Amino acid sequence: MSTATSLMTAEEYAALPDSFDSPTELVKGVLIKMPPPAPRHGEICSNVVYVSRGYLEDHPVGRIVCNDSSIVTERGPDTVRGPDVAFFSYARVPKGPLPAGLLTVSPELIFEVRSPSDRWSDILAKVAEYLRAGVITVCVLDDETKSVHVFHADRPSQVFASSGQFSVPDILPDFQIPVARFFD
């Protein structure tokens, strides 16, 4: 005899109290505990936020969120992911304080930092999930190779090496920085 397990909705997930023992995501209605990120992971994320915020100060076209802010990527059963860093344009989410709870739109741009234990097959599955949800571009920062892998729904992926310049002109015009700045 099997016992049926009820699946959690994105709204039920969002209503859970904050938990400081372990980060979580909701995957196809099931709560998944994730290992806490290492300090180096957080350092790279803060570098992304720092250089992005500098650009947005001069080009007020949107906002950056971080700290695993919830993104609904699938419904029925629901999946809620927490990207490391995400950009929402003011066209998708108007200026002003973000509303409490889940947003009903996807960000245009997501940055994920690859942890040493992350398998590329799992990363690529998550990238595909983000793209299906309406994210335009997903960037995976790989500290091991000091490179940025950029994925789009409608064209081939790109790899920006540590010696190169990173840009996403279709989302952040005139934003260009040395790849190495993400890993400083």
What's the CATH number where 139 sits?
Answer: 3.90.1570.10
Answer whether residue 105 is part of any domain. Answer: yes
Answer whether residue 27 is part of any domain. Answer: no
Question: Taking Cα atoms as reference points, which of 137, 133, 134, 131 lies closest to residue 149?
Answer: 137
Contacts of the segment 91-99: beta carbons below 8 A, 24+ positions apart: 91/62, 92/62, 93/62, 93/63, 98/63, 98/65
Answer whether residue 69 is part of any domain. Answer: yes
More confident residue, 1 or 122: 122
Whether residue 109 contacts residue 135, with contact meaning beta carbons closer than 8 Å, is answered with yes
pLDDT, mean of residues 57-82: 94
pLDDT, mean of residues 64-72: 91
Question: What pLDDT is recorded for position 1?
Answer: 47
Domain count, the chain: 1
The token pair at 172 is 């952040």
Answer whether residue 15 is part of any domain. Answer: no
Answer whether residue 176 is part of any domain. Answer: yes
pLDDT in tens, 123-151: 999 999 999 999 999 999 999 999 999 99
pLDDT, mean of residues 17-36: 86
Residue range of the domain that includes 88: 37-183
**What's the pTM?**
0.92
State the sign of the Cα–Cα–Cα–Cα dihedral 25, 30, 36, 38: negative
Answer whether residue 172 is part of any domain. Answer: yes
